[in-house]
Structure 1
Amino acid sequence: MTSLAKLVYVNNRGDDASYITAENKILTLAYENLEEIPLNLVYNFGSSVSTLDISHNQFRCLDFLTQFDNLTSLILDHNVVDSSTAFPSMPSLRLLWLNHNKVASLYPFIRNLHNSCPNLRYLSLMGNTAAPSYLNGGSFYEYLQYRLFVISWFPDLKHLDDRAVTSDQVDEALRLFKRPLLDRFSLTSSYSPYLQFLQNKITSFMASVSFLSSTNNTRNSIV
């Protein structure tokens, strides 16, 4: 594991690449109060790192991740990532921890996350306003709706938050959240902010109606 202090020291010596080996592809910059990663670290380590821990910082803009093209695990807990934060394309990413950030709205955040990181297998959003749970006073029904909505976008997830994803949950999520018409509409190159607002409202309304009508019949099978 490589820390910022070591990186600064090693970089001054000019042999920083020796700290990233075949056995050690983990870079941690946690608890450094960073808003961005120094460019020399990005350029020197980006292509070598497979696991990046930048938890407990002040990251919201994540453009620098474009340089980490071999990244499979990203730990972003306790930052200031919000609903508008854009992730670059990271098709190799399998694990993403976003616990205790500032994500207040699931849509279109989850859609955009899926577009950028379509192959996630492990995702955790606990402690965000958009992820109701026992951590932030969310009800069971709010939690269940949130969970199924996320799974509908990522049906190949193995683990969401603190629980494994079951096949029953995947089946129910795909049944409840059917979006082919709205998805095709959202692919339109440009449309007014009002239409974007209307689309979000329709998506939320359809999800709520479908969810409430079936919760009592499916609760035991998906928890």
Structure 2
Amino acid sequence: MRERLLASATQLFGEQGIAATTMAQIAEAAGVTSAMVHYYFTNREKLLDAVVEERIARSIAFVWESVEGEVAQDAHALVEEIVARLFEVTSRMPWLPPLWLREIVNEGGLLRERMLRRLPVEQLQRFVARIGEAQRSGSVNAELEAPLLFMSILALVMLPLATSKIWQNARGFPIIERDALHRHVSALLRAALRPVPPQRRVRRASGRKEDAS
């Protein structure tokens, strides 16, 4: 019953936002009385704590397991694995992208402060260090900003999924298909990670000098 209530809550939170969702609506979606919601979670704050701890934080941990395993030794494989895990998590939890955009990214989001206390700082630092090592060895594009790479990955995956319903209802825009988006994101990142040939770096540097003069 507790799992069913959490599932109903996260679905409604993703669809209409936390502020617009009442405990009574959650109970109705789960097929129980409002008293049952209060029995398991006491109040809204306890429910939000459970959503973060038992749903969002666990999905984040799953994604970041990538930097702990053998795949982390290869920067290109590491990025591919993180992308794959993001798509897997959002496939199992389709409410996550809109909830992420509405309640964590947006100013005033009701989960923002809870999530800021749970940022995976150590895993992110290891990811940045691994990308930096690959850049120094010449296997990854040295022009990338390693600390910004994960934010770029997150945006490439989460933003299209979070806004997919908007594009589906917009005339002339194609429907966002998950498999096509996965291929697209992977292709963009492979191209971005590919080392820039030395001669191209020289030409770019020369061009910048000429512009400056």
Same fold (TM over 0.5): no
What TM-score comes out, normalization by structure 1 length?
0.31
Q: Name whichever structure is richer in strand by fraction.
A: 1
Tell me the TM-score normalized by structure 2: 0.32
As a proportion of its length, which structure holds more helix? 2
Instruction: Name which structure has the greater RCO, CA cutoff 8 Å, separation 6+.
Output: 2
Larger radius of gyration: 2
